[in-house]
Amino acid sequence: MHGTVGPEAARTEEVSSVRHNTLRELDRFVRMQIAKSSGGMSSISYSVAWFDWASHLAIAPGAQIELGLETLTATMRAWERTLNGTSRAQDGNPPFSVPGFDPLNPVKFLERYVEELDHLVDKAAYVPKGVSAKNRQRVRFGAHQAVDAMRPDNFFPLNADAIEQTVKEGGMNVVRGWMNWLGDMHRLTQVDGAPKQTDGKFQVGKNLAATPGKIVYRNHLIELIQYEPQTDEVYAEPILFVPAWIMKYYILDLSPANSLVKYLVSKGHTVFMISWRNPTAEDADLGFDDYRTLGVLSALETVKSLCKDRNIHAVGYCLGGTLLAISAGALARDGDTSLASVTLLAAQTDFRDPGELSIFIDEDQLEWLDASMSSKGFLEAEQMAGAFLLLRARELFWRRFQRSYLLGQKDESFDLSVWNEDTTRMPYKMHSEYLRRLFLHNDFVQGQFDVDGRPVAVSDIRAPIFALGTEKDHVAPWRSVFKINLFADCDVTFALTNGGHNAGVVSPPEKQHRHHRIHTKNDYDHYIGPDAWLQTSEYRVGSWWPSWADWLAERSSKKQKPAKLQRADVDTNELKSSEKLPLAPGAYIRQT
């Protein structure tokens, strides 16, 4: 009779299970209601971080004295700089080197004092011992946000430029600032949830995402664009771009002067681009593997069918690069050799040190995000945009606040700012999976990321890799991106360019003040760390684009006559055979 369960026991177990699920749903419902008002952000993690820091500081009198002395020193340095008329950026300049400077102006002292506090925050977060690394990071981040908010320029009576402008214009800048604020509040509460900085100067399909091409394939998740050839001959191996699903693809095809796609086509490459669908509630159950199969694998199959089974140069940007690396590893593991090369642009494979984004990611925060997404089936675009805004609040929020509301100015839009505001949603399942499996548990580099029931690893990739990091990347820090050199067992060419996550990638050769470093590690070379790499890599003046184009050309066959653009003959193509090929940029990019 052992191992059998009687009717009464089974009924009790069933009741217990129902009660458990009901109570968990109650918890989720409460969390969902709170998450609606907090934008999906949990206050618990940050409260715990401050409690951890304050508790350790409370039992450390030495640390308290040290912080007190540092604060006194910061005050004295601020006063000294006020008298000398210098800021931290001008440290070492002779006294009174700033023309027209009034050392008795208290606002100048406040400016210097806030500068000193900004540097003091970095020390203060690390003074008490015993605080966890993530809690220190959160305390430091929160303190920097507070210091940024305290800057005198954020307050009208203390903003010299605003006062001068008011006198000069008779207060019209105040009127314009008020109208700007009213317009932003209207959009924030009634329209699409975010103040806009664009003025209609740039439009998708006209002077953005305007490189000529056609949609040659479509399924529920992607449209695949093939661009028109612009040279008499093209390299035999095509290029396939896999952009991140958290953004519109056309950061890679901005205005003609800033278009990486246009640059490659002009160099004789056949270029394909994935354009992701903007998901809705009906796409809530689309997961990471759907993006791999319906996205990367479907695109690869289509490109091969159109290019006579030629090997493909695959390129992934940001999280699209992570998705591509996983897909490339699985293909190589299973004996598929169709990739001629793999290029990863500002893309991480190891998420142990994912940068400042990690402050938003832990089990508690993901539970709140899940609760926030569960009612709609997707993550609102504004929630992700808000997280990126916080990472660069001084540049993206407070400076715009001063220009728009205090000075009454309207920002003139440019291509990258328009793209930055053209945000996308993310399906519930996909967003939850990649945050947990990659950012939280780092499954890929630990050999715990299963594809088709078997683990896949970076070392499975056999095609040569070109990896790009950017010096000022807040999203994918270059030292984290650099770890591809540690985990890959193939040739890796790593390049480091100046700029940030977006502006560093968008780097046409005509742009001034560009530079990059580059070095190739062959599969038999020993690993060297990022600091040693900086010393041994080749420094080059100018954009990284030509260096990459040369790298691609070296791994491509001789040029041939370009093929005519046509509908892909694959079973999963939703384009009708009788339908005229839609023109790029297609329909999915216009979904709002």
Q: So which residues are the catalytic ones?
A: 318
Task: Starting at the earlier edge strand, list the strands of the sheet with 222-227.
Answer: 213-218, 222-227, 271-276, 239-242, 312-317, 339-345, 465-470, 492-497, 515-521, 538-541
DSSP code at position 281:
G
**Hey, how many other C-beta atoms are within 10 angstroms of the C-beta on 580?**
9
User: Phi and psi at residue 339, in whole multiples of 5°?
Assistant: -90, 125
Place of tokens 């594809």: 451
Sign of CA pseudo-dihedral 565, 571, 572, 574: positive
**Hey, how many other C-beta atoms are within 10 angstroms of the C-beta on 68?**
10
Amino acid found at 573: N
| DSSP three-state, residue 274 | strand
The CA distance from 83 to 269, in Å, is 60
Residues 120/74, Cβ–Cβ less than 8 Å: yes
CA distances from 249 to 178, 199, 293, 409, 532 (A): 35, 21, 18, 30, 34
What is the rounded (10 degree) CA torsion for 21, 24, 25, 26? 130
- Provide the token pair at 262: 């246009």
| CA 549 to chain centroid | 24
Which candidate, 400, 450, 442, places its Cα nearest to that of 420? 400
The CA distance from 458 to 269, in Å, is 27
Which candidate, 516, 521, 562, places its Cα nearest to that of 538? 516
Judging by DSSP bridges, how do beta strands 559-560 and 234-235 pair with one another?
antiparallel
Place of tokens 């050392």: 103
Judging by DSSP bridges, how do beta strands 271-276 and 239-242 pair with one another?
parallel
**Phi-psi category of residue 513: left, alpha or beta, with phi > 0 → left and psi -120 to 50 → alpha:** left
Residues 208/419, Cβ–Cβ less than 8 Å: yes
Helical packing angle, 43-58 and 61-84, nearest 10°: 100
The CA distance from 221 to 226, in Å, is 17
